[in-house]
Structures are given as structure tokens and as C-alpha cells.
Amino acid sequence: MAEFERIVILTGAGISAESGIDTFRSAGGLWEQHRVEDVATPEGFARDPDLVLNFYDMRREALSKVGPNPAHEALARLETEFAGELLLVTQNVDDLHERGGSRHVLHMHGELKSALCTSCEMRSPWDAPLSDRPPCPVCRAPSLRPDVVWFGEMPYQMNRIYASLSEADLFVSIGTSGAVYPAAGFVQEARVHGAHTVELNLEPSEGNHFFAESRHGPAGTLVPQWVDEVLQH
Ligand code: BV8
């Protein structure tokens, strides 16, 4: 593994799978009566706010029953020991990277433990249900929604992500199907700017052909091994 100085990592639901959080693909079973696109959209929220608020209340509540796995912990070790620049971008709305020890996590699709007020547009840390319409901590209006980026909505901090991708010499994608944009396009952005690109995933993702290198297997095994290699230089 050559010397790298500026690493961007993108993670998806696959990194949390071994912690017991269903991925979207296998989640079909969990939510067989609705597709994620139906529930994770502003239209779905407008159509049936209770359904959507309960969907996210259930997922937020489930977080207290799971914990980080060796893949999350390995990325926290990388953050501590890597001498160069590291940006960890996650598509996940769980808090397992933080609970695994990562101090700087960019949640491009928002977080279960945050609430967004549709009246004052302020975001607040949140770890309780929203289906009972609690007042916004800032403006007191009963207008809180999950602070999660739905389909058709703009992900967070895209300028910062693209700036890092244009400078990166290594881009690593971990546990994501490459099914959803703009995240699925990050590998091409990094590659066109000269970065080496690596996919660590259980199986080849939809974007596997864009990666210069790929390793397939469970993240809990692959990620600690890969972090050891990067830190050995
Ligand atoms: C935007 C938060 C633009 C919510 C999520 C047509 C019509 C309308 C829109 C579009 C369209 N075509 C394209 C679009 C854009 C759309 C999109 O890409 N749609 C797809 C369906 C085609 N994207 C958007 O709408 C995005 N916004 O484009 O805005 C814009 C421009 C200007 C102005 C305004 C707006 C916003 C998308 C964000 C949606 N929110 N999540 C929530 O969590 O509830 S998406 C959600 O699914 C994830 O966040 C992630 O992004 C995506 C895919 O999930 P993954 O994390 O990859 O998980 P998945 O289950 O799919 O895969 C798991 C992988 O792990 C698998 O490969 C598996 O093999 C692997 N795995 C499993 N176990 C393990 C493992 N790997 C390792 N170890 C294991 N143990």
C-alpha cells in the first residue's frame, strides 16, 4: 500500500450490518409494506406524517439496542493514528461511528439523533420520539421532523465533500451499494482528480467497476486489516 496523505472515506449501511442494523437491501423484510423511497421522501411525509415519524422513531429507538463493531472502531483508530488528513463521510443516520470513537463524522444524509424544525429550520440534538409532536427547542412550534435527508432533498455539506474529493490521494468506499446519488458518484470524482480508489464491501457494488481496487467480505474483518496496512507506512 503506497504512502497516502489525504484520505476520504465513504461509509454506508453495510458497515453497521454486523452491529445488527438492517441495511436497506435486506431491510425490505423489515419494511415490506413500504419501500424506503416511499417513506424517505418529503411527499411521503406530507402524505402520512405519522407513518414517517413512527418509521424514524422505531429506528432511533433501536439504536439503544446495538453497538459499534470492529469496523467502526478501526476507523476511529485510523483517525487517531493517521498522520495525514482524513475525512469520514457517512450516508448512515446511526451514531455508531461516534460510539466507535470517531470524533469527526460528516453525516451527509443527516442523523436519527437530530431533529429539524420545519418552522424555524433549526436543527437540534434529539433522542426522543417525534410522533407525539414535541415543541421545537428553539421556536417551540410543534413542527419537528427527522433531520434526515430524503430522496429529492440536498445532502449536507456537499461543497466540503467535493473539495476534499478533489484533493484526496485515496478514496475508500465501505459497505455501500452505490445505488444512491450523489454519494455513488464520489468514486468518479476522486478518480478524475487522481486518487487511488478502493471498495471494501460484502459483494461487488453497482459501482464496483469504477474502483481501482476492491476487496470483498464483511467490514468487521476487512476494515481492521485495511487500517493496519495504511498505518504501517
Ligand atoms: C439529491 C437517509 C439533488 C434516509 C437516504 C430520479 C428521481 C428522483 C431522484 C433521483 C432520480 N434519479 C436519481 C435521483 C437522485 C436520488 C437517487 O439517487 N435515487 C436513487 C434511488 C436512483 N438521490 C437523491 O434524491 C439525493 N438527493 O439527489 O438531491 C438535488 C439537487 C439540487 C437540489 C436539490 C436536490 C438524496 C438521497 C438521500 C436519500 N436518503 N438515507 C434514511 O436513512 O432513512 S438514502 C440511503 O440509501 C442511504 O443513506 C444510502 O445513501 C442509500 C443506499 O444505502 P446503502 O448505505 O448503500 O445501503 P444498501 O442497503 O443499499 O447497501 C448496503 C451494502 O452493504 C450492500 O452493497 C451490501 O453488499 C453491503 N453489506 C452488507 N453487509 C455487509 C456489507 N458490506 C460489508 N460488510 C457487511 N457485513
CATH number at residue 40: 3.30.1600.10
Residue 47: CB atoms within 10 Å? 11
87 close to ligand 1 (CB < 6 Angstrom): no
Query: How far, in Å, is the centroid of ligand 1 from the Cα of 5?
Result: 28
Whether 121 and 220 share a structural domain: no
Whether 204 and 217 share a structural domain: yes
Would you list the DSSP string of 101-114?
A: T-S--EETTEEEEE
Q: What pLDDT is attached to residue 123?
A: 98
Low-confidence ranges of the chain (pLDDT < 50): 1, 27, 29-30
Query: How far, in Å, is the centroid of ligand 1 from the Cα of 181?
Result: 6
Q: What is the pTM assigned to this prediction? A: 0.96
Q: What pLDDT is attached to residue 38?
A: 75
Nearest-10 crossing angle of helices 219-231, 70-81? 20
Domain count, the chain: 2
Q: What pLDDT is attached to residue 18?
A: 97
Pocket residue to mutate for ligand 1, from 112, 181, 221, most atoms within 8 A of Cβ = 181
Pocket residue to mutate for ligand 1, from 150, 151, 206, most atoms within 8 A of Cβ = 151
177 close to ligand 1 (CB < 6 Angstrom): yes
| Assigned domain for 60 exists | yes
12 close to ligand 1 (CB < 6 Angstrom): yes
User: Any bridge partners for residue 93, and if so which?
Assistant: none
Q: What pLDDT is attached to residue 4?
A: 95
Whether 102 and 122 share a structural domain: no
Nearest-CA residue for atom 14 of ligand 1 = 181
| Assigned domain for 73 exists | yes
CATH number at residue 170: 3.40.50.1220
Q: What pLDDT is attached to residue 2?
A: 53
Q: What pLDDT is attached to residue 13?
A: 94
Distance, in Å, from the CA atom of 12 to the CA atom of 202, rounded to the nearest integer, reads: 12
Q: What pLDDT is attached to residue 30?
A: 45
Catalytic site includes residue 104: no
For 55, the domain range is 30-64+117-148
| Assigned domain for 1 exists | no
- 106: Cβ contacts below 8 Å, ≥ 6 apart: 87, 88, 89, 90, 156, 157, 160, 161
Whether 89 and 162 share a structural domain: yes
Of 72, 97, 107, 109, which is the active-site residue? Answer: 109
Q: Each residue of 189-227: pLDDT tens digit?
A: 999 999 999 999 999 999 999 999 999 999 999 999 999
Q: What pLDDT is attached to residue 211?
A: 98
Query: Are 115 and 141 in contact, with CB atoms under 8 Å apart?
Result: no
Pocket residue to mutate for ligand 1, from 18, 161, 180, 198, most atoms within 8 A of Cβ = 180
